[in-house]
Structure 1
Amino acid sequence: MSTPVPGLVARRWRSRRSAAVAGIVFAVLLIAALVMMRLAVGDETVGGSPLDARRRALVGLALDLVPFAGIAFLWFIGVVRDQLGEVEDRLFSTVFLGSGLLFLAMVFQGAVTASSLVAMTSGEDLDAGVWTFGRSTTEALVSVYAMRMAAVFTLSVSTVALRTAAVPRWVPFSGYAVALVLLLVAGQHKWAQLLFPVWVLVLSVAILLTPGRARTTGTG
């Protein structure tokens, strides 16, 4: 009788290629969602004109992409941690995991609030106070708090990548620059938020193209 292979996940789903593909999927979906959201909403307030049917549909499509981007991001985090293996630093691993999960939770909460606002705009009675509160809450969650967590995530991933030489050195150094921008200006300049998924895309492509080193496996 053959001995069952240990582990619940096949090796191919825990490879560098899997991490790279997950990162690429996350980056593309989040870039698409952010661009559609900014184009549809812009800087309007309820005092101007509420979203028309076309722009509501565009926002709805952007929000539909968010859960799939979140799934890919979770897979990206999991596979990257698995790849670190024996060289994992507990400090940076904790910051990496915590900031990534907080970023995702805030983006999801912002998407839920935005979904409620879109539903409100399709009704007859649109309360200006509720709209302003909901929009301000969404902007604060995504533009301020989520982007700060994205900056911490980028800093931790860049540091680990630099220490392990997993990708070319220019990738983590560019990550430090992206993190600085996200920390300082992402709340005021909304298009700067695209830097985070763009950098994840660059990192994922670099992981895909850089040969991996042999992993050290422990004995059970």
Structure 2
Amino acid sequence: MPGLQPEEWEALRLSLRVASTATALVAVPGIALGWLLARKRFPGRFLVDALVHLPLVLTPVVVGYLLLLLVGRRGLLGGVLDAIGMPLAFTTGGAVLAAAVMALPLIVRSVRTAIELVDPGLEDAAAVLGAGPWRRFRTVTLPLAMPGVVAGLVLGFARSVGEFGATITLAGSIAGETRTLPLAIFGALQSPMGEDAAVRLTLLSVALSLSALLLSEWFLQRMRVRGERP
């Protein structure tokens, strides 16, 4: 099978850039929400939990349409974004936003599970020794939960690489701008002579996703082993 064509390399580079940016964008909010849902009880907690995980159960096209209603040119925030020179609809930024929204629930779930496995007694001991909430989180909770946190970030990255429905709805399929790997595969399948390109891009996408899943599983195994230690 011949190597990737220039436009296919372009789709690969764009996918990696969009996925990396999206993962970085939601890393801190994802960790914060995971900690909040794992450690705090507050009014409306169920609603926050439901809203965070809503993209997991909604059709991605619906998520993309809701984002379009929010940040599109005629959306609630679209006029403001256009006025400050930061339009998101049908731009690379829109592709990043769509990928970030779809990746966030996976990151939050993984972080939440990891933090719930950390013994609260260790945090209480640090509090007795004078450590404040931020210091306890930074020196006790986060290091112990780190394998699960990293696993969540890897899963979020993999989800971003494979994002299709929300992206094509919010950002379209513009070569060099928003046409990531899934969109390039879809475009190749629409072309009478695009089968070879579709096969190449599919194999590449499978390899990327499988590598990310294996890496995530490795980190989760480390988390389980750490949790089983006396």
TM-score by length of 1: 0.39
TM-score by length of 2: 0.37
